Amino acid sequence: MADIKRTKLFICLLALLGVLMSGRVAFCAPPVRIVSLAPSVTEILFDLGTGDRIVAVTDFCDYPAEARRKPRIGGFANPSLEAIVAARPDLVIMTEEGNPVEIYKRLQKLGIKTYIFRARRLAELPQGMRDLGGALGIAGVAAKRAAAVENQLADLAKKAKASAQGGKARKALFVIHPEPLLVAGRDTVISDALMLLGAENIAANAGTKYPKFTIEEIVRRSPDVIFIGQGPMSANLSKSLMKRLETLEAVRKGRVYYVSELLYRLTPRTVAGIEELAGHLKGL
Amino acid sequence: MLKYVLLLGVLFLPLAVLSRKTWGAPAFVTSGRVIRVCLFLLAVVLAIAAISLFFGSSPIDVAAAIRWLLSGADTAHPWSATDQTILFSIRLPRIVFAGIVGGSLAAAGVVFQGLLRNPLADPYILGISSGAAVGALCALLLGVAFAPGVSGSAFLGALLTVILVYGIARTRTELHSATLLLAGVIVNAFFGAVIMFLIATAGDKKLHNAMFWLMGDLSLALWPEIFLAGFFLLAGFAVIFVNARALNLIAVSEETAGQLGVPVERTKTLLLLAASLITGVAVSVSGIIGFAGLIVPHLMRMLLGSDHRLLLPSSVLFGGAFLMVADTLARTILAPSELPVGVITALCGAPYFIYLLRRRG
Amino acid sequence: MTVIALDAVGFRYDEPWVLKNVSCEIARGEFVGILGPNGSGKTTLLKILDGMLKPQEGKVFICGVPLGSIRRSELAKTVAVVAQDFRMTFPFSVQEVVLMGRSPHLAKWRFEGETDLQIACEVMALTDTLDLANRNMEELSGGERQRVLIARALAQEPQILLLDEPTAFLDIKHQMDFFDLVKSLNRKNNLTVVAVTHDVNLASLYCDRLVLMRGGRIHVQGRPQDVITEENIAEVYQVRASVDCSPATGRPRVTPLGAHMTDEQSS
């Protein structure tokens, strides 16, 4: 039984060799051995109920707990080609940001199917989940989960609008890392989240996605609220930053909130991260 | 653990055999000696390649294969298709590539040390690595590719650097070695600053790729690139070897070389360009791998003497073996994560140089 | 027969002429010394003779052939240079250094053959360096190293030997040994020698002919007795000296007189 299945798959692979890569790939049979090259992808795979099909993940795939027990194939920017091949995957899912493009080329050359998960912004997540579901042969489940995410996001937006009641948009700053001072600029999930909640990201017009800001700039733009990412550990690191910003009203009035790193990855859990932000913004 | 000992043993024990003193070899080089030493080192290279083939993050049963071979090879091969893919499509090209890059860097190192009469010279002393890095980073971080791919951009960067350094150091009549060195230092510093600028303004995700290119990566080259690098190594080596005796004389002093009939300026230019080309090609396809081009010529000179007709081919061969071992260690010590090969070569290189300095007095 | 002929040779790097109107003929088997203070152009003259520099004025002939038309590699078979000792960056053995002298006679990719090894042995025997063959140059003393450099020069099988202040850093014994060796080669093998040196007395002792230079021109040339006079020394070196004939050697001997000596004499 397994032999026939394998032969079928082999023939399909041969047929697909040389076809240029696109985000959507047609399968003869749904892939059962999946290698994930990005932590966000791993989370989504588990969310869609296909966690048991995953045969290998990166060192950084830490959610859910079962993901940590999966075999590893190296890092995010330097995965081991050999380990990927040794896992005998039917499908390798990768992203364009961070995974080296050479790995993609090598996998193509070796005839191993790859799927590029392209969703990068908040609004692209539901469609990305649907597309991935289609590629995995679970379009129905994926559509349901994607719809759930969409509803949750719409809900949060509505609630935020209601509580703002037409007043001026609150100015927010999201600090990714206190030293060196990196903040979330435009074209990031975090920025999308703030916009969804009706807040204005004061770093939105900076040149890059994660610009290195100066204290001066922050003081000048005077945010109403500051979020600092990555949990309670960064409390120590950010002490000196807060000291330097103590002239800000936001700092003096205690409108500095430490939030978890849920917003760093684009997954269904991002919604929870946005809820966290919404909670803090509501009180203002 | 044992396998690491085996690997390192096969690399370093032959050095004891080669040592001039143990063999009581005559004090000068004959063609026969060159051939004998090269055959010996070639055997070492092949042995290391064979051993490295079976090192990796996934275990491959060597014993079973040997048994299969010995038993007449009539049953099914013990290696699965995946095993064979790993061995021949992933590991083998990488090992061959490491050999070629190691040989290239060692050859260039020999030439630069001799030309500049400086035992601390390495292939990057004239800024070729920085130029290549700027080219590569522009392609990686800015998405601006001046030529096909990151490698092409890197090579262009290296080429422009050579032209720049050469242009600075050349006067009407001669190519002054001291000026060449200084020009290299300046260019290195300038491009270093450009690299830092590019990294500082890079987006978060692309940064990782840039860092790994800078630290050297032998895993991603395919056969076409490998053959290209190999071709340039052979061509460059041929040009250099023909001028090896002239290089001996230049390494003593340029005046001496001139007095003994060597066309010094022409020979220097030729050697410089050949070595720069080899270095540029190597760095473009593999990133910046340090120390190999510095340690290997030194080591070979200590064991075999300064005559470049022997030093050159033996450095190429041992350099290849050296980098093969370094790369094998890089990809197996923390498997499945891979260390950048430059880390291993630097970890070997620094203690070795401390040892050298202590010995000198 | 004339092996070296200089005809109104002039050379300069930038503005001031380093050499001007230098004419001289050197016959085969002569031992010629070139003397003069710093800046008199003697080293430049030597560099022109070994083909390193091209004179802007005048002509130079080596064995009757214009120097400009001889390729460097050919010239190296006729002219050999022994210069001052210097540290070599990389270790070479004595044998390797001597064999370097065979380089002009070998095609680029050729290794040294039987003949070359033979010649190397002969010249090492001549210079008494045969037992040093396997030693590294760095291990030798200054005097030994200079002997090896003579051996290398001889391995070129030259007709002309140019010496560029070769004993500058050697002590008296080694200076004498060096020049004794060169003198015997000059006599026995009819080797033409042109030596640039600071040491007037040494030159007077060993040379058949002296060329005294000043400011880029030849001040006077001739036999030591004719060249080394108190007037010439005073004019060229700007020092007061006493010149007499050494009873031991029969050659002129220079004793420079410093200011304190004349004071002592007069007091």
Cβ A85–B331 below 8 Å, yes or no?
Answer: no
Choice among A209-223, B185-199, C107-121, C182-196 with the minimum mean pLDDT: A209-223
Instruction: Note the pLDDT of residue C265.
Output: 62
User: Higher-confidence residue: B59 or A154?
Assistant: A154
**CB contact at 8 A, A24 and A114:** no
Choice among A80-84, A180-184, B141-145, C39-43 with the minimum mean pLDDT: B141-145
ipTM of the complex: 0.89
Q: Rounded to a whole number, what is the distance in angstroms from the first to the last CA of chain C?
A: 55
Distances (CA, A) of A18 to A111, A132, A239, B181: 9, 22, 55, 49
Cβ of residue B262 closer than 8 Å to a chain C Cβ: yes
- How near does any CA of chain B get to the CA of C224, in Å? 29
Q: Which residue of C90, C98, C121, C157 is the best one to mutate when testing the B interface, meaning the one whose CB has the most B CBs within 10 A?
A: C90
* β-bridge partners, A92: A35, A114
Cβ-based contacts of B256 with chain C (< 8 Å): 83, 100
Cβ-based contacts of A79 with chain B (< 8 Å): 336
Which of A256-260, B5-9, B93-97 has maximum average pLDDT?
B93-97
Instruction: Note the pLDDT of residue B165.
Output: 92
Nearest residue of B to residue A78 by CA position?
A: B338
Instruction: Note the pLDDT of residue B97.
Output: 96
Instruction: Give the pLDDT mean for C97-101.
Output: 95
Q: Rounded to a whole number, what is the distance in angstroms from the first to the last CA of chain B?
A: 35
Q: pLDDT-based confidence at A21, cuts 50/70/90?
A: very low
Q: Which chains pack against C, by 3+ Cβ pairs within 8 A? A: B
Cβ C156–B260 below 8 Å, yes or no?
Answer: yes
pLDDT tens string A163-191: 877 677 889 999 988 877 888 988 899 99
In this structure, the dihedral spanned by the alpha carbons of residues B302, B304, B307 and B311, taken in order and rounded to 10 degrees, is -90
Instruction: Note the pLDDT of residue B24.
Output: 57
Cβ of residue C124 closer than 8 Å to a chain B Cβ: no
Class of residue A13 by CB neighbours under 10 A (exposed 0-12, middle 13-18, buried 19+) = middle
| CA pseudo-torsion sign B91, B93, B96, B97 | negative
What φ, ψ does residue A60 adopt, rounded to 5°?
A: -95, 0
Instruction: Give the pLDDT mean for A83-88.
Output: 91
Instruction: Note the pLDDT of residue A22.
Output: 43
- How near does any CA of chain A get to the CA of B337, in Å? 4
Cβ-based contacts of B241 with chain C (< 8 Å): 109
C touches A (3+ CB pairs < 8 Å)? no
Chain C residues 62-81 with CB within 8 Å of chain B: 71-77, 79-81
| CA pseudo-torsion sign A44, A49, A54, A59 | positive
Chain B residues 108-147 with CB within 8 Å of chain C: 114, 117-119
Cβ of residue C83 closer than 8 Å to a chain B Cβ: yes
Cβ-based contacts of C87 with chain B (< 8 Å): none
Nearest residue of C to residue B116 by CA position?
A: C89
Average pLDDT of chain B to the nearest whole number? 86
Cβ-based contacts of A75 with chain B (< 8 Å): 337-338
Instruction: Note the pLDDT of residue A16.
Output: 53
Cβ-based contacts of B242 with chain C (< 8 Å): 108-109
Distances (CA, A) of B160 to A117, B147, B175, B272: 38, 13, 18, 14
Q: Who's near C105: CB < 8 A, 6+ residues apart?
A: C77, C116, C156, C157
Q: Which chains pack against B, by 3+ Cβ pairs within 8 A? A: A, C
Residue B353 structure tokens: 């140089």
Number of H helices, E strands in chain B: 17, 0
Name the DSSP letter for residue C112: P
Q: pLDDT-based confidence at C262, cuts 50/70/90?
A: low
* Three-state secondary structure string covering C126-175: HCCCHHHCCCEHHHCCHHHHHHHHHHHHHHCCCCEEEEECCCCCCCHHHH
Q: Who's near B8: CB < 8 A, 6+ residues apart?
A: B325
User: Higher-confidence residue: A283 or B213?
Assistant: B213
Instruction: Note the pLDDT of residue A24.
Output: 45
Nearest residue of B to residue C153 by CA position?
A: B260
Name the DSSP letter for residue B148: S
What φ, ψ does residue B106 adopt, rounded to 5°?
A: -65, -45
Nearest residue of C to residue B27 by CA position?
A: C134
Cβ of residue B253 closer than 8 Å to a chain C Cβ: yes
> In angstroms, rounded to a whole number, what is the distance separating the alpha carbons of residues C24 and C217?
11
Cβ B336–A106 below 8 Å, yes or no?
Answer: no
Instruction: Note the pLDDT of residue B146.
Output: 52
Least Cα distance to B220 among C124, A95, A84 occurs for: A84
Q: Which of left, alpha, beta for C51 (phi over 0: left; psi -120 to 50: alpha)?
A: left
Cβ B261–C83 below 8 Å, yes or no?
Answer: no
Whether residue B29 has pLDDT greater than 80 = yes
Cβ of residue C232 closer than 8 Å to a chain B Cβ: no
Q: pLDDT-based confidence at C120, cuts 50/70/90?
A: very high
Cβ of residue A109 closer than 8 Å to a chain B Cβ: yes
**CB contact at 8 A, C29 and C190:** yes
Q: Who's near A188: CB < 8 A, 6+ residues apart?
A: A209, A210
Cβ A73–B86 below 8 Å, yes or no?
Answer: no
- How near does any CA of chain A get to the CA of B144, in Å? 15
Q: Which residue of C73, C89, C98, C137 is the best one to mutate when testing the B interface, meaning the one whose CB has the most B CBs within 10 A?
A: C89
Instruction: Note the pLDDT of residue B78.
Output: 74
Counting one residue from chain A and one from chain B, the pairs whose CB atoms sit within 8 A come to 78
> In angstroms, rounded to a whole number, what is the distance separating the alpha carbons of residues C123 and C106?
17
Q: Which residue of B53, B54, B55, B58 is the best one to mutate when testing the A interface, meaning the one whose CB has the most A CBs within 10 A?
A: B58
Q: What DSSP string describes A235-246? A: HHHHHHHHHHTT
Q: What DSSP string describes chain A? A: -HHHHHHHHHHHHHHHTTPPP-S----SS---SEEE-SHHHHHHHHHTT-GGGEEEB-TT---SHHHHTS-B-B-SSSB-HHHHHHT--SEEEEESSSS-HHHHHHHHHTT--EEEE---SGGGHHHHHHHHHHHHT-HHHHHHHHHHHHHHHHHHHHHHHHHHTT-PPPEEEEEEETTTTEE--TTSHHHHHHHHTT-EETTTTSSSSS-B--HHHHHHH--SEEEE-S-TTHHHHHHHHHHHTTTSHHHHTT-EEE--GGGGS-STTHHHHHHHHHHHHHT-
Least Cα distance to B257 among C72, C164, C119, C150 occurs for: C72
Question: Please, what's the largest Cα pairwise distance for chain A?
Answer: 72
Q: What is the pTM of this model?
A: 0.84
pLDDT tens string B199-232: 887 766 677 778 878 888 888 788 888 999 999 9
B touches C (3+ CB pairs < 8 Å)? yes
